[in-house]
Amino acid sequence: MKPELTKHTVFTYFSGDATTLQKQIIADWLADGRNAETYFEWLEEWERSQLQFQPDTSAALLAITEKLSEEHEPAPSRLPSSVRKASTKTILLWAAASLFMIGFGSYLGRDFLMYRTYETAFGELNKFCLDDSSMVVLNANSTLKVPRWGFGKSTRHVYLEGEAEFSIRHTADHQYFKVHNADSSLITVLGTEFVVYTRPKQTNVVLNKGKVELSSNAGEKPLTMLPGDRATIERSGKIKVEKLSEAQLAQHSAWKQHRFVFNDTPLREVAAKIHEVFGVVVKINDKALATRTATGSFPAENAEELLSSMSYMYSFEIMKAENKIILIPNP
């Protein structure tokens, strides 16, 4: 019976003292891509406990990505000067780690090596703290990519698809925090609170506190937003800004309490929102019902709960058919 893998075994490997059997156990464990995130977490934990271990992470990552990019002849083997001065054990560690990364990196993709990815499923919310102490609340069906190497030190760039609320921590060296959106627009901040919605149909930025600079792929001069502003970036890249009331500002964060706020919103748009958040297809075969507008705040943690609470007010019935929900107007 093969020995069970433990954190101690992996730490032994990081220290360069693993046996051939232990290395094979780790290799088999890493063959399952679901374990790779744990591997990186343990690597970071081990590094923090080894004060004498100070690898040049940028050089190491560059060497790995260059290796992954090779299609024919490998590049001449060489070590950066900063790594050449490291201890033999440190060099062995990074060499072995690189081999593991290269081995499963082609399967997981270069993005996995370079970024830690936070994802939410349909109907799920996730709140977490980044390494620079900035807080993020990620809405359902959303993805945030954060660099694994140097975040909070040499870079504070993140990449968002979906919707998130950011509370950015101001750093002593006044380093900018940059949010790259799905439509290639860019938000630049020092320390502030704002909500970003970036999906195929459009991108919205709502600023609660502080000040941000917003630019788009239209190449226009960056626009500075002030508290209470909502910026909408059109497909052309043009940015439209409007001032919101306190009530309107609150609406843009209502999803954190699993609330849906509508203001003269056609039911066909409500159906699109349900698909976006819960992944449920809602069909409205009646044109008059599809254009009927909804106004109000509705707490709900799933599609059926939301539609049930709206059905009495807007006079429709709910029918399930295969993997979708059909709305039928009441007689």
Q: What is the pLDDT of residues 176-198, one digit of tens each?
A: 999 999 988 999 997 899 999 99
Q: Answer whether 256's CB lies under 8 Å from 249's CB.
A: no
Residue 291 forms beta bridges with which residues? none
pLDDT recorded at residue 47: 67
pLDDT for 84 beyond 50: no
Q: Answer whether 183's CB lies under 8 Å from 205's CB.
A: no
- As annotated, the residues of the chain forming the CATH 3.55.50.30 domain(s) are 258-329
pLDDT for 218 beyond 50: yes
Instruction: Select the more confidently predicted residue: 91 or 209.
Output: 209
CA distances from 4 to 1, 9, 21, 26, 282 (A): 9, 9, 11, 10, 47
CATH top-level class of 258-329: alpha beta
- Residue-wise pLDDT for 262-315, tens only, equals 999 999 999 999 999 999 999 998 999 999 999 999 999 999 999 999 998 999
What mean pLDDT comes out for the span 313-330?
Answer: 90
Instruction: Select the more confidently predicted residue: 33 or 11.
Output: 11
* Chain mean pLDDT for the chain: 81
How many CA atoms does the CB half-sphere of 330 hold within 13 Å? 8
Which residues 6+ apart lie within 8 Å of 1 measured at CB?
Answer: none
| 319/289 Cα distance (integer angstroms) | 15
Beta strand extents in 42-192 (DSSP E only): 115-119, 126-129, 135-138, 143-147, 157-167, 177-180, 186-189
What mean pLDDT comes out for the span 111-135?
Answer: 90
CA distances from 285 to 15, 185, 267, 321 (A): 64, 36, 11, 13
pLDDT recorded at residue 92: 46
Q: Answer whether 250's CB lies under 8 Å from 208's CB.
A: no
Residue 331: both structure tokens together: 């007689």
| 95/57 Cα distance (integer angstroms) | 12
- As annotated, the residues of the chain forming the CATH 2.60.120.1440 domain(s) are 115-250
pTM over cut 0.75: no
Least confident of 57-66, 78-87, 230-239, 299-308: 78-87
The kind and range of the H/E element at 105 are helix 88-108
pLDDT for 175 beyond 70: yes
| 115-250 has CATH 3.40.50.300 classification | no
What mean pLDDT comes out for the span 252-257?
Answer: 92
Q: Answer whether 254's CB lies under 8 Å from 297's CB.
A: yes
- Residue-wise pLDDT for 8-32, tens only, equals 888 777 777 778 787 888 888 877 7
The kind and range of the H/E element at 309 are helix 303-314
User: Residue 206's Cα: distance from chain center in Å?
Assistant: 18
Residue owning tokens 């990074």: 94
- The C-alpha angle with vertex 77 and arms to 75 and 80, in degrees rounded to 5, equals 105
